[in-house]
Structure 1
Amino acid sequence: MTETLRRGRASLAFGFSVQGVTFALLVTRIPALQDQYGISDGLLPVFLAAVPILAGVGSVCTERLVRKVPPSRVLRWSQPVVLLSLLGAGAGDAMWEIAVALGMFGLAVGALDASMNMLGVSLQRAYGRSIMLGFHAAYSLGGIVGASLAWAGAHWDLSLLVSYLPVVVVLLPAALVGSRWYVDAGGGEPGGAAHAAGRGREGDAQPVKAGAGGGATLGATVSFKVLLPLCLVMTCAYIGDSTVSNWSAKYLQDVLGSSEQLATVPYNVYMVMNLVGRGAGDLGVRRFGAVAVVRGGAVVGAVGFGVVAVAPGAWVGILGFMLLGIGLSVIVPQTFAAAGRRAFECHGPGASDAAVARLNVFNYVGFLIGSPLVGGLGDAWNYRGAMVVPMVLVLVTLLYARSFAPEPDRYGDGHERPRTTDVGRGSNGL
């Protein structure tokens, strides 16, 4: 493996971790933002819903943008905008200022999420083995660091500006320097197109010449019908994830009778187990294949929701959230990888980028659906019963698990897939 690819992998992992820190610093200080700007309880959901909606817009725009510029360039400049938007959110005091800051954050984070996953998918293709979970493990680690920094700021009663400014001052130049080594199209020159990898089993990828301009075949696209199963899986996974992030503390305190302090534990253990699952997940994919790992993750995640739903007390509930962290951790990274692979096999690297951007929108769809769905069911019925809904939705992944398998070549049947360069029939997989 070339030094260029290794540097590209390390720099992208750092970019994922920076995003984890940034996002955690925003979402964990929402009550402080509400107090600072005087946002009413009725208006707060409008602000919270606007961010993922605008992020979806940003992701769609990125799909079009990477037809003309490399994904690395989108990532290089969207990450500073996200960091500066976070700082802007902590610096103002007028309603229009928080509206502008969150609007910029939403648009930029959509471009950031889409472009960093594009680069992750293409790097995995170049490596010829599963590495996508490692990037998302870096994001989880960043989230833990960001949440810890947010706790420290709240504990010491620091203003949001004082909490955010040192983080932005350190991370923004570091992210810009690290972006020098981003690699487009699965392994070529930093910041430009070069070589995409051919189909092969983990460890056996072969380089294939990619198109120009960000590694994309200009105008390449992929049928929504091909992506639909993966879009459903992505939506269900994020419904599960948003359930944990939005309702775990309330569930532990109001339903399982924990203390306020203990109620902060479930999300922390969920994030830690996310990190553990993603850290080990690539090895599991290499050994057992993506289909088996995704199926296992869906089952473990569903069992986790089941344990939470029937838990007699707080500690059993925390065990359920631990299982959720392990189970859900593998699904999203593998969904991105599968979408990129299927599009690349059909139409080349340009379609891979388009597929990742399109799939990324359903990240935000799941987030928008999950919180009000569980909250509404909990208020209308009960929260134990509400936990059964994301449990069933996570199990939907089992119905579409075969979508995570590489499709065999179909030579001689009149339905050959177009590809930039034919690398012959060989082993399958990333």
Structure 2
Amino acid sequence: MTNHRAIALVFALHGAVAGSLSTRIPWLQGHLDLTPAVLGLILLCQPVGAFVAMPMATRMAHRLGGRTATRLLLALWCACLALPALAPSPVWLAGVFLVFGMAAGTCDVVMNSQALVLERRLGRSIIAGLHGMWCVGSLAAGGVGVLAAHLGIDARMHLAVVSVVLLGLGGLAGRGLLANQSSEGVPAPRRFALPSRAILAVGLVGFCGTFAEGASANWAAVYVTAVASAGPGVAAATYTVFMLCMAATRLIGDRFVRRMGAVAVVRVGGIVAAAGGVLVVAGRTPWLCMAGFALVGVGVAVVVPLVFAAAGDVGDTPGEGIAGVATITYLSGLIAPAVTGWAAGALSYPAAFAMITAIVAVMTLLAGALRPRSRAGAEEGRRLERVAG
């Protein structure tokens, strides 16, 4: 297995764990008799765990090596999939989701660092396609989860079996990852690598993109139901179309990055997403709103991958830069659904998505922060600018 295929499989497996669990949340709610408020607090534990743990991931990778750290954290992430269904009470479930988030966040940082190192070796953009593979893994595993739920398979059995399968595939993927690089003579990263000033501008672009992505993913179905009077089937299809557009754009996004450069791609994507936001706000029929959310998905799809790639050029090490930016983007993902809900409640759903459209416009204006700063990255950026005209 080539290095590229191995890291692509890692991304797909990471997404598969998330997709598998998401389909069994209703089972967890019914099994433990959770109210919506309690379930919301428990689900909040996952991003909180990720937010707390991610800044420490680079030090782990420094001590163990990137390949070893990725293999261990991916195994932990896959193994954690079996735990939520075994929780005997809401308190235990909250603790499990906290650990679940810590495993997810630290694995996210080290696998993106591995991807960036490989991207530099190959001399071409691959990061968007890898994030596309994450979407593919999530959608495929989600489909399996929907089928398992439809057949009435107990979630404990379903998640345990999937966990074992993913662990086996993770072991296979780990064999093909880049070999550990010697850390001799390389200073150890800080124990808790909070974002530095140098990556705040890059992180702000990611914050805006993640905000639009998280708000749309969480509220698209609700929006078309409340504003456009869509039925349950159309509402579910709106979310699915949004996710499929994101996945497809990520899978082909690297081609555009190679031709145009990251800055131009994010700016064009921002314009597309803003146009989609306007259509969402102005549309009052389910199909217009669905088309708007599809454009938002296309427009923001490659923002986070390209932000991670830019962060690798800005930080003292690729891993430290990615950890700093990942902390900011996870913070955005943590607050976006809640802020959108508050805005919709205080004003209206169209007003809330008008706010999101404005955030996308800010992202478009700040896209210049993704211009390569390392020598190798700068040379590639100048080459792309010459090719683009």
* Pairing 1:390-409 to 2, within 5 Å after superposition: 390-407=356-373
Q: Using a 3 Å threshold, how does the CA distance of structure 1 residues 216 and 334 change in structure 2: closer, same or farther?
A: farther
Query: Could you tell me whether the CA contact under 8 Å between 1:300 and 1:327 is conserved in 2?
Result: yes
> How far apart are residue 163 of structure 1 and its match?
2.4
Distance between the aligned counterparts of 1:317 and 1:32, measured in 2?
Answer: 30
Structure with more helix by fraction: 2
Aligned match of 1:384: 350
Q: Which amino acid aligns with 1:277?
A: T
Distance between the aligned counterparts of 2:24 and 2:278, measured in 1?
Answer: 30
> How far apart are residue 240 of structure 1 and its match?
1.1
Q: Give the paired residue count.
A: 380
Q: Using a 3 Å threshold, how does the CA distance of structure 1 residues 287 and 101 change in structure 2: closer, same or farther?
A: same
> How far apart are residue 427 of structure 1 and its match?
5.2
Q: Does 1:237 align with 2:203?
A: no
Q: Does 1:338 align with 2:333?
A: no
Query: Could you tell me whether the CA contact under 8 Å between 1:305 and 1:324 is conserved in 2?
Result: yes
Q: Which amino acid aligns with 1:372?
A: A
> How far apart are residue 162 of structure 1 and its match?
2.7
Distance between the aligned counterparts of 1:230 and 1:426, measured in 2?
Answer: 19
CA offsets 1:277-329 (integer angstroms, 9 cap, x no match): 11111110111111110111111111112211111211111111111111111
Distance between the aligned counterparts of 2:186 and 2:219, measured in 1?
Answer: 41
Choose which of 159, 162, 165 in structure 1 pairs with 2:154.
159
Q: Residue 387 of structure 1 aligns to a residue in which SS? A: helix
Q: Does 1:365 align with 2:337?
A: no
Query: Could you tell me whether the CA contact under 8 Å between 2:314 and 2:374 is conserved in 1?
Result: no
Q: Sequence identity, in percent?
A: 27
Q: Using a 3 Å threshold, how does the CA distance of structure 1 residues 28 and 367 change in structure 2: closer, same or farther?
A: farther
* Pairing 1:83-102 to 2, within 5 Å after superposition: 83-102=78-97
Q: Does 1:218 align with 2:213?
A: no
Distance between the aligned counterparts of 1:20 and 1:153, measured in 2?
Answer: 18
> How far apart are residue 407 of structure 1 and its match?
3.6
TM-score normalised according to structure 2 size: 0.92
Q: Which runs of 4+ in 1 moved over 6 A?
A: 220-223
CA offsets 1:26-64 (integer angstroms, 9 cap, x no match): 233322222112222222222122111110122111133
Q: Residue 261 of structure 1 aligns to a residue in which SS? A: helix
Q: CA RMSD in A?
A: 2.2
Q: Which amino acid aligns with 1:144?
A: L
Aligned match of 1:71: 66
Moved more, 388-397 or 90-99: 90-99
> How far apart are residue 132 of structure 1 and its match?
0.7
CA offsets 1:60-115 (integer angstroms, 9 cap, x no match): 11133233221222221112222222211123332243223212201101111111
Q: Does 1:323 align with 2:318?
A: no
> How far apart are residue 127 of structure 1 and its match?
0.8
Q: Using a 3 Å threshold, how does the CA distance of structure 1 residues 23 and 215 change in structure 2: closer, same or farther?
A: farther
Q: Does 1:264 align with 2:259?
A: no
Aligned match of 2:105: 110
Query: Could you tell me whether the CA contact under 8 Å between 1:86 and 1:101 is conserved in 2?
Result: no
Aligned match of 2:138: 143
> How far apart are residue 265 of structure 1 and its match?
0.8
Aligned match of 1:3: none
Query: Could you tell me whether the CA contact under 8 Å between 1:300 and 1:326 is conserved in 2?
Result: yes
CA offsets 1:173-194 (integer angstroms, 9 cap, x no match): 11012102211xxxxxx2x11x
Query: Could you tell me whether the CA contact under 8 Å between 1:25 and 1:146 is conserved in 2?
Result: yes
Moved more, 95-104 or 292-301: 95-104
Larger Rg over CA atoms: 1
> How far apart are residue 160 of structure 1 and its match?
1.2
> How far apart are residue 370 of structure 1 and its match?
0.5
